[in-house]
Each structure stands twice: as C-alpha cells, then as structure tokens.
Amino acid sequence: MKRLILILGLAAVMLMPLTAEQQSAAQLQMAEIALRAQSENPQVLRALRSLQNAEEALVGESRLLNSRLTLEAAYGTAQYQTGSSGESGEKVVSGQAGITVPLLDQFAIGGSVTAREDRGIEGELSLSISPFTAGDPTYPEEEAYGKALVAWQTLRGQSYFNAEQAVLGVLIGKMERELAEMTLELEQKRYQTVQKELELGEASFEELQDQLGELTDARKNLYTIESQALSSWKELQLLFDPGSGEIEPAPLSLQQLEDLIRNRGEQITKIVAGDPSSETLEYLELELSALRAELKATPLWRPDFDLSGSVGLPDPSVSSISVSLSFAPNDIKDNDREEVQEAIDEKLLDIRTERFDLGLQLQLTERSIAIAEQAYEAASLAREQAALTLQESELLYQQGKLTVFELEQARLSLKSSEIDSVVAAANLYQAQAELLMYYAVFG
C-alpha cells in the first residue's frame, strides 16, 4: 500500500503544471513560441481588453434603466370658501407616487397615485408617443467594435510572425557566435605559430603584425556578434509578459526550416485566389458602413410631433388627450444629408486608392519572395561547393599538401556557408509571412 501511495504521489508531481521557472528552462519549438505570443503578448492583451470594452458599449444598457420613480409628500392647509369674505383652513397630509417607463425612444408609459386625507386615493395612467423622435444611433459603437476587432486580429497575426522572426534571430545568433568563437580560436593558434616561427627565424616581424591584426579583427567580430545575439534574445523576451519566464527556443535544423517553407508555400498557393486585405482597408470599410448608417438615420425632415393621453383612476371619465406639432426651417436636413453623402464619396475614393496600393504591395511582396528564393538557391549552391572543398582539403591534408590551419579554414568556410543558407531560408520564410498577413492567415 505504501508503495502504491508513493507511485501515485510521484505521478501527481510529474503531472503538475510547470512553474514559471521550470517553463523558462524548457526549450520550446518555434510554433509553440509563436502561438504563446498570440495569447500572451502585452499588446495583444491590451487590444483584447479594448475589444471587450467595445463589445460592452455595443450591447449598451437596457432602456428600462431610464425608468424613473418619483415620490412626493406634503403637509399644509386646505382652503375652503365660507362666504363672500370669510374662509377657513384645515390641516391636510397628502402624498404622491409616479413612475415613467420608456419602452422605446418614441413610446413611453407612466402612472401616478395621489393620496389626500380629504379626497382619498386618485390615480392616472399616461401614454406619450413621439413618432419622429430619433433613437440613439448605434453605428458609432458598431464602428468602434469593428475597429477593435480588426486591431486585435492584426496584432495577433503580427505577434505570431514577430515571434517566429525573433526565434530565428536567436538561433542564427547562436550559430554566428559559435562560428566567431571558432574563428577566434583558429586565429589565436595561427598567431602563436607565427610567434614560434619568428623565434626560429622562419617568419618576419611584419608577418607577426599582420597575424596580430587578424586576431584583433576576429576578437572584435566576436564582440559584435555577441552584442547582436543579445539584442535578438532581448527582442524575443519582450514579446511576452515579464511573468512568463525566459523563453528558450529549441534548435531548428535547416531541413526543418525547409519543411516549414514548403508548407507555407502550399498555404500561399491555396489562398492567392482570395481577396487580400489590410488593417487600413478594413478600417475604411467600417467607416463607410458607419457613414451609410448615418445617412439612413438622417431623414429629409423631422418635425417635433407629440401625442399624449391620460386616463384617471378609479374614474376613467377623467381623461385627456393632446397633440402638438411644431416645425421650423432647421428641421429640413438637406445640408446634413449632403455632407454625409460627400463623406461617403470621399471614403469610396479612399477605399479604391487603398485597394490599388494593396495590389502594388502584393506585387512587391511576391517579388520579394521570388528574390528570396533565388538567394536561398545561391546559398545552397555555395554550401554544396564548400562541402566539396572541405572534402578535397581533407584529402590534400592527408597527402601532406595542406596545413592543419588550411584544413580548419575550409571547415570554417563550410560552417559559414551553412549559416548563410539558414539566413537565406529565414528571409524566405519571413517574406512568405508578409504575404500571409494580407490574407489574415497565421501559422
């Protein structure tokens, strides 16, 4: 039994969620980091809160919350005529309660009850209709909600691709730092060798100075690359909340990156038949919809017309009805409608311009992808050539025709060409991402 309890306890510990420190120690694949950025990026979270606030404003408050209850009480003297010159008074307590309920912007019902010591309880039901009263417009809230939704979706896509780019920057930085360290180590060995040759009279002081310059350049290059790698790491961490812990990307081979490029290329093939869009275009279309709703809500004329009536309780014979109509030249809304229509025409022109610009941007992006593909093919050919050169160098070294330093230089050249291939592949992968953004496809 104790052994069973121990096994269950260990299993429970293993199944417990990782703490922030434990999560920071674990390496994550690039896709996992990008998905986390979509949900944990501070800018995305702020955009989500703005979207939620816009949704609440769009729903609005119930009209019944504008219902009004009034209570009144009075104490005074009631006056009665006792003749042509005399009058007497009596202390009277009275109270009144009323309620008004707006069912619609143009329709409201109400009721009141009055109680007096000398007259008993009296009541009244009332109804008021204002058919030309304009209701509260909802198109401003609809426009704000639509823009908040577009902003949140755009930021989610940008955070996904920014995370991918940051991860690739960190991984490339590690590779470049490793190459710089190997180069520095090789130059140090060369310098030590030239020093010994100088002592033996087999090298000149000028050769030693030249090698010292190579060593110094290698050391400076290492410091520069380390600084760039630190900047890439910082850029990746800033995509997440500080409480998320350190984000450590897992290694990504060139073959894995090629697979990602191929999958993304298949995505592009499927979506190019659709209609591209952009955040600016989405905003313009939302503004156009709001203007059209405003034009629809702006009638040619709107007089001030009110109809009201009341019925007394408990005596329904005590009733009344009233109608009022007023009209002024300002009630004619020709100018208002013309201004809104002009704004609609301008917005349509802005949309056409943005779509034209979007088409040009797509052409540039597609051209960038083609150039990136050519650059990657050239880098692949250079890598293959470097691999062949290393094989030849190894053979020549075994034959005694190359020095160990020349062999090591060939190995460094191959590693440098491999890094160039990864950089070219990363540029191609990011160029594809720019195209996907126009179709709101992430991943």
Residue-wise pLDDT for 347-400, tens only, equals: 999 999 999 999 999 999 999 999 999 999 999 999 999 999 999 999 999 998
Other residues' Cβ atoms within 10 Å of the Cβ of residue 292: 15
Same domain, 264 and 382: yes
428: domain CATH number?
1.20.1600.10
Residue type, 437: M
Give the pLDDT score at 17.
Answer: 39
pTM for this entry: 0.74
Tokens of 139: 């198109």
Q: Is residue 391 part of a domain?
A: yes
Indicate whether 236 and 281 sit together in one domain: no
Q: Tell me if 241 is assigned to some domain.
A: yes
Query: Would you state the pLDDT for residue 58?
Result: 80
CA dist 31 → 28, 162, 164 (Å): 8, 12, 7
Task: Give the C-alpha separation, 396 to 404, whole Å.
Answer: 10
pLDDT for 432 equals: 95
Q: Is the domain of 291 the same as that of 342?
A: yes
Identify whether residues 396 and 282 lie together within a single domain: yes
- 81 within a domain of the structure (yes/no): no
Residue 178 pLDDT: 96
Would you say 48 and 152 are in contact if contact means Cβ atoms under 8 Å apart?
A: yes
Does 401 map to a domain? yes
Are 379 and 263 in the same domain?
Answer: yes
**pLDDT for res 120:** 59
* Pair (229, 360) in one structural domain: no
> What's the number of domains the chain is made of?
2
Q: What is the pLDDT of residue 229?
A: 94
Do 267 and 189 lie in one domain? The reply is no
Give pLDDT, residue 442: 67
Residue 368 CA to residue 149 CA, distance in Å, equals 30
Does 362 map to a domain? yes
Write out pLDDT tens, residues 188-219: 999 999 899 888 888 888 988 999 999 999 99
Of 252, 280, 308, which residue sits at a domain end? Answer: 252
Cβ atoms of residues 394 and 407 within 8 Å: yes
Q: Which of 252, 268, 291 is the last residue of a domain?
A: 252
Q: In what order do the strands lie in the sheet with 319-326?
A: 68-81, 87-104, 107-116, 120-129, 304-313, 319-326
Q: Which residues of the chain have pLDDT under 50?
A: 1-25, 80-88, 103
Paired with 248 in beta bridges are: 27
**Residue 407 belongs to some domain of the structure:** yes
Range of the domain at 199: 29-60+137-252
Shared-domain flag, residues 235 and 261: no
Determine, yes or no, domain membership for 239. Answer: yes
Task: Clarify whether residues 225 and 292 are in a common domain.
Answer: no
In a domain, 53, yes or no: yes
The last residue of one of the domains, among 196, 223, 252, is 252
The number of helix segments (H) and strand segments (E) in the chain equals 10, 8
Q: Are residues 46 and 149 in the same domain?
A: yes
Shared-domain flag, residues 388 and 282:
yes
pLDDT of residue 131: 58
Residues 228 and 358 placed together within one structural domain of the fold: no
